[in-house]
Amino acid sequence: MKVSNLGYPRIGAKREWKKALESFWDGKLDAPGLEKRMKEIRLDHLQTQRLKGVDLIPVNDFTCYDHMLDMATMFGWVPKRFNHQGGPVPLQDYFAMARGKQDAVACEMTKWFNTNYHYIVPEYEEEMEFSLLENRPLKAFREAKEELGIDGKPVIIGPYTFLKLSKGYSSGQFENLLNRLIPLYIQMLGELAEAGCSWVQMDEPVFVADLSKEDMKLAKEIYNQFKRAVPEIHLIIQTYFDSVEHYEDLISFPAAGIGLDFVHGKTGNLDSIRKYGFPADKCLGIGCIDGRNIWRNHLQETIRFIQELDDFISPREWFLQPSCSLLHVPVRKDQETDLDSVLYRSLSFADEKLEELHLLKQALSHGSESISEQLNAAAEALDDLSTHEMRHRPSVRKHLKHLREEEFNRKSPFQIRQQIQREYLQLPLLPTTTIGSFPQTPEVRKARRKWRIKEWTQEQYDEFMQTEIQKWMQIQEEIGLDVLVHGEFERNDMVEFFGERLGGFAFTKHGWVQSYGSRCVKPPIIYGDIEFRSPMTVKESKFAQSCTEKPVKGMLTGPVTILHWSFVRNDLSKKEVAAQIALALRQEVQSLEANGIRIIQVDEPALREGLPLKKKNWNHYLEWAVRSFRLATSAVDDRTQIHTHMCYSQFDDIMESIQQLDADVISIEASRSHGELIQTLRNHSYKKGIGLGVYDIHSPRIPSADEIKTQIEHALLVCDRQLFWVNPDCGLKTRKQEEVIHSLTHMVTAAKLVRSEI
């Protein structure tokens, strides 16, 4: 039995990593200063892992931005626009690829599988030369050895995953590019072997996705080549986030070990093991501690589970490991001094997870009696949590149990509602609106902070908010928008805001995880039944409505998004938790309606990212996701108009579900991908209100009225003019006041021009 870690959080318990990076970008730290700081952090993390009893300590999991970007730059995959001069990619170019520079847009960033971590998408370009510009894993291995005497286990993204997640080539080129990558990997592994490295972790998470048999054949051939070229290296092929798709093929790969996720892919992987066994000549990496959530492990149950496995397979060796890299959880919990003590004891962040692995090793090597005290403590902590009064609110459970089918449906179908709403709202053709937020200026943030630390009274704070809302109501009136918003100035974050006002959530002080680059998020913890306490958004919306004759759009975050952007309790299914959130939001929607709000938008930007990795599981997910949205939004009268918003434009494969949300109007991102979206809409006509974002809010650029007019005209080729809305791509909180006023003025001008022509 060995404890093997798959990756350690980079950001540091006090976000030292983030701070160092940002000081460098701000010019407060020079390159040698940054390198020095990064090294200190890196070594400190290795040291911690050693102290926690990790036998196979990962190296090269550390990065100055992102591990995929590291791979791409190491292979010389630097797009021409960055004008790289050859040789190892200097920090400057590396960061330019990640963040863009004056004359070159940044590389695309996208979600790492179904997590909230974003990686930089490697971009292949024709004529790119493939060569190993530097051997980062080797550098990391040597550093750990020389500085700390640690025999590290380099972590490398495997070639199959690397290429599958890259872009810029056609499917016909895949095999050829893969073959061109092989020598680079072989060189990397060869140099590692020469330096005395024996274990290497090759991450191939794509093996849990929908690959074909052909893919597996091709992949096996690569691993055969690795084995032939560098036989001394013990390769562990590591999978995570779900069960392996073609397990029977994977176990025939010439690897020294295979790592499986027994948390998020437990059923599938277990079924495969039962059916095909596990080779006696390979080590089994048993991912038994959840690397993506923050709950303490029920050690006794895990021990039982491994002992059962042991009854019918005999791998060469067992590696006890987290289900995936610990990148997705906060560093350590001892900084959380303000949490409910029951909750606190039931938590386990990265460092605690390593301790849990060590305990498992002890129990499995020397018998459970050797750590009976710790086993009891774990069981007790989880027991206390499960009997916590927050955990089970009879009123919520009862309400959910007795929901009737009609509570998931609006009273009348869309066609009828549309007529009624037209009468009620009296909007012009091509109504103009925005997505919700207006600039979050330093003053706005300061006001929230003062209120939070009680430097300001509630009255002072309310007064500030009212002034801000009033100012923006006037601006919107002057611009001539048709449906106004209050601006979301009271919200720090679209999930945290609601979490703080609903029962069942807890918030950490330091529970940060990396989202992308130096950007960290602090997901709320859903640990109890979700309960609606009192209206959360009525005050602001109602005030805004009192400032205008025009309809003000109420603004909520949807159940699926709140769920995905939180750490969720694991004793209930996501479906059940989503239903609880939906039920609470339903009451908010009703309160808004009762207070004269005629249009309510429920944002679901995370609907798509929650899609399971395997297509066969999509239906189940989409079904409950859609139902939770409908539960939240269906209680209103026919005349109340429900909007939803999503920040992406890829809809072709989930169009059906989007329709089923039965929102009266949907607004989506479109300005950067107009062509694609138009095509989608051509193929699947959308029969409800739709607003295609007519300009990109991510850029400070002010679009001209003409340009927006063209966008609208294009959209009208496929969208019914009676159903079309004019709005920006997303919220405007990151923009400056002047930019917003200019852009929106042009937008309204464009809408009026088109109206006058049709």
Catalytic residues: 698
Token pair of 392 as six digits: 């089970």
Q: Which does 135 bind (CB under 5 to 8 A by kind): Zn ion, ligand GLN, none?
A: none
Residue 444 touching ligand GLN (CB under 6 A):
no
Pick out residues in 646-675 that bind ligand GLN (CB under 6 A): 647
Pick out residues in 552-591 that bind ligand GLN (CB under 6 A): 555
Closest distance between ligand GLN and the C-beta of residue 494, in Å?
Answer: 6
Closest distance between Zn ion and the C-beta of residue 668, in Å?
Answer: 8
The Cα 402–Cα 409 span in angstroms is: 15
Contact call for residues 536 and 498 (beta carbons, < 8 A): yes
DSSP type of residue 1: -
Token pair of 211 as six digits: 């690959």
Pick the closer one to ligand GLN by CB: 242 or 729: 729
As to burial, measured by CB atoms within 10 angstroms (0-12 exposed, 13-18 middle, 19+ buried), residue 207 is: buried
CB contact set of 675 (below 8 Å; sequence gap of 6+)? none
Total residues contacting ligand GLN by CB under 6 A comes to 13
Pick the closer one to ligand GLN by CB: 220 or 471: 471
Total residues contacting Zn ion by CB under 5 A comes to 3
Residue 437 touching ligand GLN (CB under 6 A):
yes
Closest distance between ligand GLN and the C-beta of residue 434, in Å?
Answer: 7
Among 554, 605, 691, 728, binds ligand GLN (CB under 6 A): 605
The Cα 107–Cα 109 span in angstroms is: 6
Residue 733 touching ligand GLN (CB under 6 A):
yes
Closest distance between ligand GLN and the C-beta of residue 436, in Å?
Answer: 3
Residues in a beta bridge with 513: 521
Among 730, 748, 751, 754, binds Zn ion (CB under 5 A): 730
Pick out residues in 499-558 that bind ligand GLN (CB under 6 A): 555
Q: Which does 733 bind (CB under 5 to 8 A by kind): ligand GLN, Zn ion, none?
A: ligand GLN
Pick the closer one to Zn ion by CB: 473 or 697: 697
Q: Which does 481 bind (CB under 5 to 8 A by kind): Zn ion, ligand GLN, none?
A: none
Token pair of 165 as six digits: 């997640």
Q: Which does 591 bind (CB under 5 to 8 A by kind): Zn ion, ligand GLN, none?
A: none
The Cα 548–Cα 530 span in angstroms is: 34
Q: Which does 159 bind (CB under 5 to 8 A by kind): Zn ion, ligand GLN, none?
A: none
Residues in a beta bridge with 668: 646, 692
SS3 720: coil
Tell me the binding residues: 15-18, 111, 116, 435-437, 488, 519-520, 565, 603, 609, 645, 647, 669, 730
Q: Which does 437 bind (CB under 5 to 8 A by kind): Zn ion, ligand GLN, none?
A: ligand GLN
Tell me the binding residues for L-methionine: 435-437, 488, 603
Pick out residues in 483-502 that bind ligand GLN (CB under 6 A): 488, 494
Q: Which does 494 bind (CB under 5 to 8 A by kind): Zn ion, ligand GLN, none?
A: ligand GLN
Among 647, 670, 692, 748, binds Zn ion (CB under 5 A): 647
| Burial readout 525-543 (b: 16 or more C-beta within 10 A, e: otherwise) | bbbbbbbbeebbbbebbbb
Among 152, 158, 322, 731, binds ligand GLN (CB under 6 A): 731
User: In which residue are the tokens 């002080």 written?
Assistant: 509
Closest distance between ligand GLN and the C-beta of residue 553, in Å?
Answer: 10
Each as own residue / partner, the long-range contacts of residues 385-388 (CB below 8 Å, 24 or more positions apart, any chain) are: 385/342, 385/343, 385/345, 385/346, 385/527, 386/571, 388/340, 388/342, 388/343, 388/527, 388/528
Piece in contact with ligand GLN (CB under 6 A), picked from 146-154, 444-452, 658-666, 725-733: 725-733
Pick the closer one to ligand GLN by CB: 156 or 479: 479
Pick the closer one to Zn ion by CB: 272 or 711: 711
H or E element that contains 752: helix 737-757
Tell me the binding residues for Zn(2+): 645, 647, 669, 730
Closest distance between Zn ion and the C-beta of residue 757, in Å?
Answer: 29
The Cα 83–Cα 92 span in angstroms is: 11
What would the DSSP string read from start to end of 318-349?
Answer: EEEEESS-GGGS-S-GGG-TTS-HHHHHTB--
Piece in contact with ligand GLN (CB under 6 A), picked from 137-145, 444-452, 676-684, 727-735: 727-735
Pick the closer one to ligand GLN by CB: 63 or 433: 433
Among positive and negative, which fits the CA dihedral 67, 320, 346, 242? positive
Among 645, 688, 709, 735, binds ligand GLN (CB under 6 A): 645
Closest distance between ligand GLN and the C-beta of residue 575, in Å?
Answer: 23
What would the DSSP string read from start to end of 545-588?
Answer: HHT-SSPBEEEEE-HHHHHHTSEE-SSS-HHHHHHHHHHHHHHH
Piece in contact with ligand GLN (CB under 6 A), picked from 64-72, 431-439, 575-583, 630-638: 431-439
Pick the closer one to Zn ion by CB: 507 or 648: 648
- Rounded to whole angstroms, what are the CA distances from 687 to 189, 414, 615, 646? 56, 9, 26, 17
Among positive and negative, which fits the CA dihedral 51, 53, 56, 62? negative
The Cα 69–Cα 339 span in angstroms is: 37
Closest distance between ligand GLN and the C-beta of residue 561, in Å?
Answer: 8
Q: Which does 542 bind (CB under 5 to 8 A by kind): ligand GLN, Zn ion, none?
A: none
Pick out residues in 116-135 that bind Zn ion (CB under 5 A): none
Ramachandran assignment for 569, one of left (phi > 0), alpha (psi -120 to 50 degrees), beta (any other): beta
Residue 476 touching ligand GLN (CB under 6 A):
no
As to burial, measured by CB atoms within 10 angstroms (0-12 exposed, 13-18 middle, 19+ buried), residue 67 is: buried
List contacts with Zn ion (CB under 5 A): 605, 647, 730
List contacts with ligand GLN (CB under 6 A): 435-437, 488, 494, 555, 603, 605, 645, 647, 730-731, 733
